[in-house]
Amino acid sequence: MDKSAKKDRSFRLSLIDATSHERLWSLRFTRTAFIIAAVSTVVIVVVGLFSIIAYTPIRTFIPGYPDAHSRRQAVQNALRIDSLQTRILQWELYTENLRRVVAGEEPIQLDSLFTSGNGSASVSDASFLALRDSLLRADVNAEEQFEVGAAPRRNLPIEALSFFTPVKGVVSKPFDRALHPWIDVTAPAGTMVMSALDGTVLYTGWDQESGYVLALQHSGDIVSIYQNIEKMLRKKGETVKAGTPIGVLASSSSLTKGDHLHFELWYEGAAVDPAQYIKF
């Protein structure tokens, strides 16, 4: 038998009853047909498994494969990160403005740095780099320019001072050193805002979204800041006593919900939690 005959010879696969020797099923095939059938079967199985895994929810059972919830969570986290970056930049600009005011320098005009549509920053590279550099060395060092009183007095630590409550209300949003370095105190619009300590009006300004802003310099390297004020009762450079009315609380702004006082307390150049020293 030559090679071509061996190559084309056929085979038979039979199923026979062991007792009666009756042929139940028989299949004839050649070597070429067997190879083609085997390859086709493997291809069909692979394509079928790929289709099931790629186009059905079964793929979510694969370890490490992100499901719809994971992808949605990733998108939400990306949005939160973007929002936090914007808030951090706003806070850095606010801190830089406070440093400039205390140092007697011209404050940055926030209206030119933030767009009114989405609140995103539009700071030039040079201004931003200068801002970042100055924030590393931010220090409240203008006590001599805004001295509370001519007579010498002993500066007590902040823990030993007795603060007057600026407004009676409920702290609706507590202090957070990284994201919210102030507190929001809910109170009806029109409520008188009082000075927390004896001091001198350090800064007065107005913001389209937050109303009037007033900063008081106190002894002991303490600065208090009052925001969301509708009407100012004091001018820059005036001396005030603790409990003296300094402004009238405004109604809620476009960025806030509910009437409240935005209140900050700074000690030795760092923001501290006012709720630790004042009972609201």
DSSP-derived secondary structure for 10-75: EEEEEEE-TTT--EEEEEEEEHHHHHHHHHHHHHHHHHHHHHHHHHSGGGGGSTT---HHHHHHHH
Diameter of the chain by CA atoms?
126
Q: Cα–Cα distance between 87 and 79 in angstroms, integer? A: 12
pLDDT of the residue at 3: 57
Q: Which of these CATH numbers, 3.10.520.10, 3.10.20.30, 3.40.50.720, 2.70.70.10, describes 148-280?
A: 2.70.70.10
Residue 263 CB-density burial (10 A; 0-12 exposed, 13-18 middle, 19+ buried): buried
pLDDT of the residue at 150: 42
Greater model confidence, 245 or 21: 245
Greater model confidence, 39 or 144: 39
Measured over the CA atoms of residue 20, residue 24, residue 30 and residue 36, the dihedral's sign is negative
Spatial contact of 251 and 210, defined as CB atoms under 8 Å apart? no
Beta bridge partners of 239: 200
Mean pLDDT value across residues 180-196: 92
Mean pLDDT, rounded, of the chain: 78
Q: What is the band of 80 on the pLDDT scale with cuts at 50, 70, 90?
A: confident
Dihedral angle over CA of 237, 235, 177, 122, nearest 10: -110
pLDDT of the residue at 210: 76
Mean pLDDT value across residues 96-120: 62
Is the pLDDT at 31 greater than 60, yes or no?
yes
Greater model confidence, 159 or 116: 159
Greater model confidence, 248 or 104: 248
Q: What is the band of 2 on the pLDDT scale with cuts at 50, 70, 90?
A: low
Is the pLDDT at 122 greater than 70, yes or no?
no
Is the pLDDT at 65 greater than 70, yes or no?
no
pLDDT digits (tens, 9 = 90+) for 252-277: 754 456 789 999 999 998 999 999 99
Spatial contact of 224 and 216, defined as CB atoms under 8 Å apart? yes
pLDDT of the residue at 242: 93
Mean pLDDT value across residues 180-207: 92
- What does the domain layout of the chain look like in residue ranges? 3-61, 66-139, 148-280
Residue 26 CB coordination number (10 Å): 10
Is the pLDDT at 132 greater than 60, yes or no?
no
pLDDT of the residue at 8: 65
Structure token pair of residue 148:
């509370």
Spatial contact of 179 and 84, defined as CB atoms under 8 Å apart? yes
Counting every residue written for the chain, the total comes to 280
Residues of the chain above pLDDT 70, percent? 74
Mean pLDDT value across residues 114-137: 46
Q: What is the band of 121 on the pLDDT scale with cuts at 50, 70, 90?
A: very low
* Residue 276 backbone phi and psi in degrees, to 5: -80, -20
Greater model confidence, 119 or 22: 22
Q: Tokens 């030795």 belong to which residue?
A: 268
